[in-house]
Amino acid sequence: MRPPSTPPPATEPPILDSTTWRWKSQTIRYVKTPAEGKSLGSIVLIHGFGGNCDHWRRNLKPLASSGLDVYAIDLLGYGFSDKFNPKSFIDNDVHNVNGETGRDFTDFPTKYNGSPTSVSPFSPRVGSTPFTSMTHPLNSAYNFYTWSNQISDFLKEIVKDERGTHLACNSIGSCVGLQVAIDNPNLINSVTILDPSLRKLNVKRQNPYFVPLVTLFQKILRESDVGKAFFANVATPKTVRNVLKQAYGDPEQVSDELVDCILRPGKTEGATEVFLDFISYSGGPLPEEQLKIIDKEKINIPVAIGWGKLDPWEPVEEGRVFKEFKCVEVFEEFEGVGHCPQDENPGVVNDFVVRFIDGVLCK
């Protein structure tokens, strides 16, 4: 596979042209950049919390120059994909969108912990978390199982690559990609996760004495005008810029265009409700639980992990334990970058992704 090209650092690619796909009566936005020359495979790029296709704008052409058909997609509820009211999904799930529907999570503690008595609500060490609370506490459709179904159907209906497809994911998108590997390993060849979300608000991360207080705070945000006021304060150019500068190792990479890429979808109808719903998503799988399932079930999907050493939200020190999982074939730390390395230093990330995929293809 050819090494990826890198655009000149002074040049900001334009905000992306895109198309849409109808999924379960919802409109989903995605973009495609065809491979330059002979296609050697496909890759789907999955954004993180508050992100969208445009957060991969600096990766599409370089990855396509290496011989990949490149797709980026807005998860349901994010970017310019539909943002159906979470309460409507709960009350009237007529489109069968909720990915938790029909799944049985009751045997997880016994199957993956050894015995139900080993379950504890609090784990001090990332990587040893017990299997509990695998579903959205509010039964909302905005969960990793829904997004796994979305990506799986996208692979079957839009990508349609019989050779299989590679996934590259950032932040919470990493949990989506790993769930696809668990649910439909026949559709993909590998998963690359970049600064995966450790999901610090998950109930399994919380001290049990504080869980009632956190739950009450989440309820106030989600069901009162306090939450709307909070989101209105967050969804401003100044706040978005400050948040991104905190997340990026190099604040100079936070351009006006990047702020606009993140902020514009936040102004669309339903964005407030989805934002507040995810803040209340204190259940569901953690990345180490998903990696454990991949190992235990002997799912033959290799995983690569890349991590910005300056990530202030998901410290790499807590993530190094992920190297213990057999499915994790590559673990690299990126110097000088934070939580969104694909945008902050696309040259390093594009090279990392292509090298890993080359290794997978050569097996």
Which CATH number characterizes residue 242's domain?
3.40.50.1820
C-alpha–C-alpha distance, residues 281 and 203, integer Å: 9
Do the domain assignments include residue 8? Answer: no
pTM of the model: 0.92
Distance spanning both ends of the chain, measured CA to CA: 14
Domain count, the chain: 1
Residue 351 lies in a domain: yes
Q: How confident is the model at residue 90 (pLDDT cuts 50, 70, 90)?
A: low
pLDDT greater than 80 at residue 153: yes
130 versus 290: which is more confidently predicted? 290
Whether residue 295 is predicted with pLDDT greater than 50 in this model: the reply is yes
At residue 236, the pLDDT reads 95
Question: Scanning the structure block, which residue is given the tokens 């209906």?
Answer: 157
Classify residue 309: in a domain, yes or no. yes
The C-alpha atoms of residue 279 and residue 143 are separated, in whole angstroms, by 11
User: Mean pLDDT of all residues in the chain?
Assistant: 89
Asked if residue 1 is part of any domain, the answer here is no
Can you read off the two tokens belonging to residue 86? 């979470």
Q: Got the DSSP string for 195-260? A: S----TTSTTTS-TTTHHHHHHHHHHHHHSHHHHHHHHHHSSHHHHHHHHHHH-SSGGG--HHHHH
pLDDT digits 0-9 by tens, 38-74: 888 999 999 999 999 999 999 999 999 999 999 999 9
Q: Is residue 229 part of a domain?
A: yes
Check: CB of residue 294 under 8 Å from CB of residue 184.
Answer: no
Q: Could you tell me the residue range of the domain that residue 126 belongs to? A: 19-361
Q: Name 45's bridge partners.
A: 72, 168
- In this structure, the strands spanning 188-194 and 303-308 are parallel
Does the pLDDT of residue 9 top 80, yes or no? no
Task: Tell me the C-alpha distance between 176 and 147, whole Å.
Answer: 6
Q: What is the pLDDT of residue 204?
A: 86
Structure tokens at 262: 């993140």
Pairing assessment for the beta strands 41-46 and 26-33 based on DSSP bridges:
unpaired
Q: Which amino acid is at 172?
A: I
CA-nearest of 95, 78, 77, 94 to 86 is 77
Q: Say how far apart CA 164 and CA 42 lie, in whole Å.
A: 7
Tell me whether residue 335 is in a domain: yes
Both tokens of residue 191? 């998963």
pLDDT of 117 > 80? The answer is no
Query: Is residue 5 included in any domain, yes or no?
Result: no
Q: Beta partners for 44?
A: 71, 167
DSSP code per residue over 320-343: GGGGGSTTEEEEEEETT--S-HHH
Greater model confidence, 87 or 77: 77
Angle at 282 between CA 276 and CA 286, to 5 degrees: 125
144 token code pair = 């990793």
**pLDDT above 90 coverage of the chain, percent:** 71
